[in-house]
Amino acid sequence: MALYQALLNGLLIGGVYALISIGLTLVFGVMDIVNFAQGEFLMIGMFLAFFGHRLFGLDPLVASVGAGLIVFALGVVVERVVIDPIIDAPPLAQIFATVGLSVVLSNAAAAAFGNEYHGVTTPYGAVSVPFLGAHLPLSYLLAFACAAVAASLLYLFLNRTDVGRAMRATAQNRNAAVLLGINPRAMYMLAFGLGVGLAGFAGAVILPYTVAYPAIGSQFVLIMYTVVVLGGLGSVRGAAVAGLAIGVIQSVSTVFLATELQNLVVFLIFVAALILVPGGVLKSVRLRRA
């Protein structure tokens, strides 16, 4: 029963991991840049939801929409100011820029809000829903539902709208996209805004069952990069599948190991993925079938 419960909890948590990682892989897929500050944008979304709850009494799930939009706008500004000037720079310069951005954001949050933990109390925080012999925490279930809706909307945007198709065309071949009249810089700005906006949205929806503090982004760094490496850098579908898988593995591991060893398991998976499936699991499966 404990294993079954852990499996279900892992699926729910993995849905949020998938959403955070989809934002990261979207930025890489379109811009060919790894955003090492993705976790800090998640942290900003958490603080926005926290202050929305404290100042205006908004439920974090309601505030998540506003948090995602604000982080999206912040991402657009950051892309223009920080990312655009180094878009064609060597990879090392891009890494330094986004790592530096993560340091600036986390330290700015520490200076503004202190290093204390900030949490919220919601009416459903201690409620669980019976499901096939298990009990699903309602806060996990609602966060998963919000993540699923956001991921579905992103899928529709990328596949059913002209702007989304233009973004995908830019990701596939920048030069060909220019010949078709697509402005790559506009696509980069939109992709970065969407990528970090999804992280901000995800940060808000998980606030009911976790706490916000300036360094929380580092807690998700290993998970995010494990997901995108396992799913394949640039693959939105791969990030979704791998996010669910990592959530399940991390949750199930607590049944057999101490909670403190969760990240060790994730790290081992990260290393194994780099060595054994560098193109991502889904890509490897397609190659074997070919």
Beta bridge partners of 118: 212
The reported pLDDT for the residue numbered 163 is 95
Burial class (CB in 10 A: 0-12, 13-18, 19+), 75: buried
Q: What is the pLDDT of residue 286?
A: 38
In the 8-state DSSP scheme, what is residue 107?
H
Of the listed ranges 9-23, 174-188, 259-273, 276-290, the least confidently predicted one is 276-290
More confident residue, 190 or 272: 190
What pLDDT sits at residue 281?
A: 52
Range of the domain at 53: 2-289
CATH number at residue 13: 1.10.3470
DSSP label of 234: T
Number of domains making up the chain: 1
Rounded Cα gap, residues 38 and 197, in angstroms: 10
Q: What is the mean pLDDT of the chain?
A: 88
pLDDT of residue 126: 86
Band of the pLDDT at 260, cuts 50, 70, 90? low
Encode pLDDT of 67-91 as tens digits.
Answer: 999 999 999 999 999 999 998 888 8
Residue 284: the pLDDT is: 41
pLDDT at 222: 81
Nearest to 24 by CA among 148, 153, 178, 202: 202
Would residue 202 be called left, alpha or beta, if left means φ above 0 and alpha means ψ between -120 and 50 degrees? Answer: alpha
pLDDT band at 288 (very low <50, low <70, confident <90, very high): very low
pLDDT at 278 over 70: no
Average pLDDT over residues 157-185: 91
Q: Are 235 and 282 in contact (CB under 8 A)?
A: yes
Counting residues of the chain whose pLDDT is more than 70, the rounded percentage is 93
- Cα–Cα dist 217/259, whole Å: 19
pLDDT digits (tens, 9 = 90+) for 205-247: 999 999 999 999 988 888 888 888 888 777 788 888 889 988 9
pLDDT, tens digit, for every residue of 87-141?
888 888 999 999 999 999 999 999 999 989 999 999 988 898 888 888 889 999 9
What pLDDT, on the 0 to 100 scale, is given for residue 119? Answer: 93
- The rounded distance, in Å, linking the Cα atoms of 28 and 167 is 12
